[in-house]
Each structure stands twice: as structure tokens, then as C-alpha cells.
């Protein structure tokens, strides 16, 4: 799905996507670690999987379904105790505008 | 240069389930902020999603209605992105294997021509919450009630060529999901929203131009306006030597323009992967077959039947079948009064006008289908004239009581036509005595005078005389 290979790891971009603060001094280090992971994936890619259906889940089982009934009652107060800021029932975050 | 636009729509349909797609929280609209966001919706540690079977059934129903391949095996994936109204940091969606595969839908254009628009796929996913930017100074309020509401995202092929076709397609899809009763179709509440992918190319060129995506359009009118603006903008950019950048844009209905939404350095990279919390979704062909049996008569079939069975014009048939509530009302009226022509005229005419003026949906009509049917029957048996029928309709509207007997109201409002020969003959004789000159002219063949006498009788009976009968009485006197 992704087409990253060892030659084009952009650590700044990846850190931003993952919302990770990676110190400049650690960039080389982290890049090396990622390269090692990709090398491992490359090794797996070399296994011949011709004629094998892709597996989307390791468990050989099927999705169970639930009936369409409202079964949860929500205690907003309890949930909002853990939130840094709330007001009038809303969770508040720093202003985000696209 | 002549340009051709190429348009594809992604329509998000909120499925009308009681509970959310992966949790047992309620989906009802308009609750207090965050009163319907449970632990699963909030993405709290340790929770697991459990799939709602009704959402699956609705997706299958839709797939069958557009003649699509139903995938008996499909997979849920995580679409990763950061936004405060997406607490988990990913949206559960379907990427490589959607539940509904390729299908198509026929749309009708204003000139009556039809076009087939291909559907690439339709997949299930969860809706995100809402960000409120204008309520708290310097901060954004987050309401997660909508989080986890089941969505069916319907992706069209780039088969659409004009903004008018785009809105016709959006409307047709609205009609269809209402018929299937898988969505309440309430655009104002966001039950259906669409994104439009728009590009332009020199006329005759085969390959597509670079496209932009306009997000979150929530009305039939805005679809047209947003696309028109975007086509114009792209042509301007290209004709002045610029290039179109692939980007996401937002339509601003107040200023009638689209503007760039995400900074370009920040390219979208959703890093889809199968959600390990959810097993693959597998169901049997038997379930699909069972759901196929529940499919209602679809809009195209209903329209054809109206033409065939009731002799309606193409236009009337299309208009009456375009909305499920409207067609139900129409059929209820016809079933009682057996006069499809009058039923059509009243529903498309007076009833629509009254509803529009009062901003009401037909499902909330103060005049019931039953009452309108009796009104039409009283026209048919000549108890009412077209004039008194309108007065009666107004009376029924103002009473707004479905229990009100129509016949009682006719007496109460004294609207029945005077069809007593004796009474009418008396009036005619009196008129002839009062207007001997005019009567002489009529006798001498001046047919215009007939109108004068009939008009006088109508005036004296406050419109309640049967004009045809009056005609006959006067002619008998000649």
C-alpha cells in the first residue's frame, strides 16, 4: 500500500503524519531504525505467495454482528471528567480552522 | 478554446439505523452535545467495535437497487488522519474491498433526456464528529454525537459532464435512498452530503485534466453553484497559462466561491491498513437473496407504471414519483377517488402551492389524502364547482384536522352547488324579466349574451350554480 523504500524515507514527513516530536538530533537514528524495519519487510516480500489469498486478519474467523438496538447510555459527565477542557457539554481544543 | 468538464461525485449517506455502526449509542439527531458519544465512539482505551447488522443489510439493499455486485467478503480498514473531531485518530472505512461493487443509475435531465451514470463502488464507514468554530473565542468546540453514525459512501465514475447533471444525479440518489428507506434524506441535517471531483480538459481530448475535490456540499443547489464556480476558476487558471494543482477545496455559499482548504505541503497520506479490531465481513448469498425480496418498487418502475396505469404525462409521472411521500399521497388519493387526472392536478397545483408557501413537506400536509380524495369526488358528482372546490380546499387547509368530514364542511361553508332545477329556473326567469333587451339579443342569435346570463346566475348564487345546468335552463327558455 505504501511505496516507501529505504531511499526515500522522509523522517520529517512521517513524524508530522504521526504527530511525533522527533528531535533533529535523533533523525539519523530513527531513519536507520525505519530502514531496518523496511529491510525486514523486504525479506518477507521475497516469499512466494502466488495463489494465496491475501489475509486481512490473522484469526481464521468471521465478523460477528450486533442487532441494531441502542444499548449504551452515555454519562457525559463521567467521560468529560478526564478531558482537559469542556464547556456547555463540548470538548474544547485549541482553535482549528482548515 | 472549448473546454469540457469531467465530474465525479462521492455521496455520503447517513444510514437510518437506531444505533451507531460500531457501538450501541443512539444516532438520533439534535441531542445535547456529546450526550450520545459512548466509550467506543470516544475511542477510549480497551474498547472494541462491534458491527451493526442493520447497516450491512441497508448497504446490500442499496447495492441491489443499483444492480451492483455485492461482495460477500469485505474488509474494514483504518484511514488514518488527525483531526480533533476524530478521537481515535483514524476512521474505520473500507478501502480495497468495499461491500458494494460496480453498478449504475439512470438520471433524467431537464430536457427529458436520460443518462446512465456508473457507480464505481459503495462502502461502509463511520462518520466523524462536528467541530464548532464560532462558539468559543479562540477555541474549537467538539461534539462527538455524530461520531460513529453509519455512512454509505457512494462513489460515481467520472461520467458526469455538467453541473446540471451533477445535481440531477444527487437528486436521483436522494430519491433512491428514500425509496429504500435507508436514509431520512434530510439534507439540512447533513443526512446526505457530497464531495465533487472536478476537472476540465480541451474538448475532444481523451485524457483527464488534473482535478480538485470540493468537500462537504449539502444541497442540490450548492452542488450546481460550487461546480460552476470551480469549472470557471480552472478554465481561468489554464487560459492564463497556469496549472491546476490537485487539492481539496471548500465551497462558501455566502460568497459563491470555492477556496483551498488544506495547505499543499501537507499532502494527504491516509496509510490505510486492515483494522485488526475487526474480522473480515462475510455473509451468504442467501442473505442477499432474502434482502432482494424486500426491495420496494423503484422510482423508474413507479414512473413507468404511472404513465401506463394512470395515463400521466412523463413530466407529471416523474414529478409525482420523485418523492416517496408524494407518491404515497398521490396513490392514496387515487385509490379513493379513482380520478388520477384530478389527483395529479390538485397535488401538483393547489396542494404544492400551499405547501411551498407554508414551507411544509407533503407528509405534514394539513389536508389529508383522504380529504382531498373526497373533495375530488364531490367535484366529480358536481356537488362542487371548480371555484367552490378551491374554497373548500382552503377551508380544509385552515382546519388542519384529518378527522374533519369533508361533506360536513361543504354544508358548514354552504358550498354545495345549487342544482335544484326549480330554484335555478326561478332565478333565470327573474333575470329574463329584469333584462328583456339582452334576452331579445340572445334570441336573435347573439350567443355572447348567453355568457352574460350564466354569469349573472353564478353571481346571484355566489358561484354555487352548476353552469352547465344553467345553460340548459336558459336555452330551454329561447
The DSSP line for B78-92 is EEE---TT-TTSEEE
The predicted model gives B243-264 an average pLDDT of 83
For the stretch B279-325, pLDDT in tens is 999 999 999 999 999 999 999 999 999 999 999 999 999 999 999 99
For the stretch A13-63, pLDDT in tens is 888 888 899 999 999 999 999 999 999 999 998 999 999 887 878 887 878
Q: Please check whether residue B170 is in contact with residue B11, taking contact to mean a CB–CB distance below 8 angstroms.
A: yes
For the stretch B448-469, pLDDT in tens is 888 888 888 888 887 778 777 8
Q: Can you give the pLDDT at residue A2?
A: 45
- Percent of chain B at pLDDT above 70? 98
**CA R_g for chain A:** 22
Residue among B18, B21, B24 with most chain A CBs within 10 A, to mutate? B24
Distance CA B205, CA B2 (A): 11
Residues in chain B: 478
For the stretch B185-206, pLDDT in tens is 999 999 999 999 999 999 999 9
B163-179 vs B220-239: helix crossing angle, rounded to 10? 150
**How is chain A split into domains, by residue range?**
8-47
The predicted model gives B422-437 an average pLDDT of 85
* A8-47 topology per CATH: Histone, subunit A (1.10.20)
Q: Please check whether residue B95 is in contact with residue B272, taking contact to mean a CB–CB distance below 8 angstroms.
A: yes
Q: Can you give the pLDDT at residue B286?
A: 97
Q: How many CB atoms lie within 10 A of CB A83?
A: 14
* Cell numbers standing for residue A81: 471528567
Which residues sit opposite B259 in a β-bridge?
A: B250
Name the more confident of B458 and B344: B344
Q: Please check whether residue B335 is in contact with residue B327, taking contact to mean a CB–CB distance below 8 angstroms.
A: no
Query: Buried (b) or exposed (e) across B302-340, using 16+ Cβ within 10 A?
Result: bbeebeeebebeeebbbbbbbbbebbebbbbbbebbebb
Which residues 56-85 on chain A approach chain B with CB closer than 8 angstroms? 56-57, 59, 61-72, 74, 76, 79-80, 85
Q: Can you give the pLDDT at residue B454?
A: 86
Q: Can you give the pLDDT at residue A6?
A: 53
Q: Can you give the pLDDT at residue B267?
A: 56
For the stretch B81-104, pLDDT in tens is 888 999 999 999 999 999 999 999
Q: Can you give the pLDDT at residue B419?
A: 67
* Spatial CB neighbours of B230, under 8 Å, sequence gap ≥ 6: B196, B198, B212, B214, B249, B258
* Spatial CB neighbours of A97, under 8 Å, sequence gap ≥ 6: B133, B140
Q: What are the chain A neighbours of B261 within 8 Å (beta carbons)?
A: 98
| Greatest Cα-to-Cα distance within chain B, rounded to the nearest angstrom | 100
Name the more confident of A9 and B356: B356
Q: Can you give the pLDDT at residue A4?
A: 52
Distance from CA of A31 to the nearest CA of B (A): 18
Q: How far is CA A53 from the centre of its chain?
A: 24
ipTM over 0.95: no
**CA angle, A68 as apex, B10 and B52 as ends, to 5°?**
50
Structural domains of chain B, with CATH: 3-289 (no CATH), 299-412 (no CATH), 421-477 (1.10.10.410)
Q: Can you give the pLDDT at residue B383?
A: 87
Q: What are the chain A neighbours of B278 within 8 Å (beta carbons)?
A: 57, 63
Q: What are the chain A neighbours of B280 within 8 Å (beta carbons)?
A: 56-57, 62-63
Torsions phi, psi for A11 (to 5 deg): -65, -35
Distance from CA of A98 to the nearest CA of B (A): 6
Model confidence band, residue B124 (pLDDT cutoffs 50, 70, 90): very high
Q: Examine the pLDDT at B155 and tell me if it is beyond 90.
A: yes
Helices (H) and strands (E) in chain B, counts: 17, 16
Residue in this structure with the C-alpha cell 456547555, named with its chain if needed: A88
When the pLDDT of each residue in chain B is averaged and rounded to a whole number, the result is: 92
Residue among A58, A81, A90, A95 with most chain B CBs within 10 A, to mutate? A90
- Report the residue of chain B nearest A89, measured CA to CA: B33
> Among candidates B226, B304, B308, B280, which has minimal Cα distance to B97?
B280
What is the SS3 assignment for B138?
coil
- What separation in angstroms does the CA of B241 have from each of B74, B205, B233, B238, B331? 45, 18, 13, 5, 57
Q: Can you give the pLDDT at residue A7?
A: 61
Q: Please check whether residue B198 is in contact with residue B214, taking contact to mean a CB–CB distance below 8 angstroms.
A: yes
For the stretch B15-31, pLDDT in tens is 999 999 999 999 999 99
Amino acid at each position: 500500500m505504501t511505496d516507501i523504500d529505504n531511499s526515500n524515507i522522509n523522517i520529517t514527513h512521517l513524524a508530522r503524519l504521526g504527530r511525533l516530536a522527533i528531535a533533529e538530533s535523533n533523525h539519523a537514528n530513527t531513519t536507520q531504525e525505519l530502514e531496518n524495519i523496511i529491510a525486514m519487510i523486504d525479506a518477507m516480500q521475497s516469499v512466494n505467495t502466488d495463489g494465496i489469498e491475501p489475509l486481512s486478519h490473522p484469526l481464521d474467523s468471521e465478523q460477528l454482528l450486533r442487532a441494531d438496538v441502542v444499548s449504551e447510555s452515555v454519562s457525559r459527565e463521567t467521560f468529560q471528567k478526564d478531558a482537559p477542557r469542556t464547556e456547555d457539554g463540548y470538548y474544547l481544543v485549541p482553535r482549528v480552522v482548515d | 478554446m472549448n473546454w469540457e468538464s469531467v465530474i465525479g461525485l462521492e455521496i455520503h449517506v447517513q444510514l437510518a439505523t437506531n444505533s451507531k455502526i460500531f457501538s450501541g449509542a443512539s444516532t438520533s439527531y439534535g441531542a445535547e452535545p456529546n450526550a450520545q458519544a459512548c466509550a467506543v465512539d470516544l475511542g477510549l482505551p480497551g474498547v472494541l467495535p462491534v458491527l451493526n447488522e442493520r447497516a450491512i443489510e441497508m448497504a446490500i439493499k442499496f447495492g441491489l437497487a443499483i444492480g451492483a455486485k455485492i461482495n460477500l467478503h469485505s474488509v474494514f480498514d483504518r484511514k488514518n488522519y488527525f483531526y480533533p473531531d476524530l478521537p481515535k485518530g483514524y476512521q474505520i472505512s473500507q478501502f480495497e474491498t468495499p461491500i458494494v461493487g460496480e453498478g449504475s443509475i439512470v438520471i433524467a435531465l431537464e430536457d427529458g433526456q436520460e443518462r446512465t451514470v456508473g457507480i464505481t463502488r459503495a462502502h461502509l464507514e463511520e462518520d466523524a464528529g462536528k467541530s464548532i468554530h464560532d462558539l468559543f473565542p479562540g477555541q474549537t468546540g467538539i461534539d462527538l454525537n455524530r461520531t460513529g453514525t453509519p455512512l454509505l459512501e457512494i462513489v460515481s465514475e467520472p461520467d458526469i459532464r455538467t453541473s446540471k447533471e451533477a445535481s440531477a444525479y444527487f437528486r436521483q440518489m436522494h430519491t433512491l435512498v428514500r425509496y429504500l428507506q435507508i436514509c431520512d434524506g434530510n439534507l439540512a441535517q447533513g443526512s446526505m452530503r457530497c464531495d465533487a471531483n472536478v476537472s476540465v480538459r480541451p474538448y475532444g481530448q481523451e485524457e483527464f485534466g488534473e482535478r480538485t475535490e470540493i468537500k462537504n456540499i449539502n444541497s442540490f443547489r450548492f452542488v450546481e453553484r460550487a461546480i460552476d464556480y470551480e469549472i470557471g476558476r480552472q478554465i481561468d487558471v489554464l487560459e492564463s497559462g497556469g496549472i491546476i494543482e490537485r487539492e481539496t477545496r471548500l465551497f462558501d455559499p455566502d460568497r459563491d466561491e470555492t477556496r483551498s482548504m488544506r495547505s499543499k505541503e501537507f499532502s494527504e497520506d491516509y496509510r490505510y491498513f486492515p483494522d485488526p479490531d475487526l474480522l473480515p465481513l462475510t455473509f451468504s448469498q442467501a442473505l442477499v437473496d432474502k434482502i432482494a425480496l424486500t426491495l420496494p418498487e423503484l422510482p423508474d418502475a413507479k414512473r413507468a407504471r404511472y404513465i401506463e396505469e394512470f395515463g400521466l404525462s412523463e413530466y407529471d409521472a416523474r414529478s409525482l414519483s420523485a418523492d416517496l411521500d408524494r407518491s404515497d399521497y398521490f396513490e392514496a388519493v387515487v385509490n379513493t377517488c379513482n380520478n388520477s387526472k384530478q389527483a395529479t392536478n390538485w397535488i401538483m397545483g393547489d396542494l404544492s402551492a400551499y405547501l411551498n408557501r407554508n414551507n411544509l413537506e407533503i407528509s405534514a400536509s394539513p389536508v389529508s389524502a383522504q380529504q382531498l380524495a373526497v373533495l375530488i369526488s364531490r367535484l366529480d358528482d358536481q356537488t362542487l364547482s371548480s371555484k367552490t372546490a378551491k374554497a373548500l380546499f382552503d377551508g380544509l387547509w385552515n382546519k388542519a384536522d384529518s378527522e374533519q368530514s369533508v361533506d360536513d364542511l361543504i354544508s358548514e361553508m354552504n358550498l354545495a352547488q345549487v342544482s335544484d332545477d326549480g330554484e335555478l329556473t326561478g332565478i333565470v326567469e327573474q333575470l329574463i324579466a329584469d333584462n328583456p333587451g339582452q334576452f331579445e339579443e340572445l334570441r336573435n342569435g347573439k350567443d355572447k349574451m348567453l355568457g352574460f346570463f350564466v354569469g349573472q346566475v353564478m353571481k346571484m348564487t355566489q358561484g354555487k350554480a352548476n353552469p352547465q345546468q344553467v345553460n340548459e335552463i336558459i336555452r330551454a327558455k329561447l
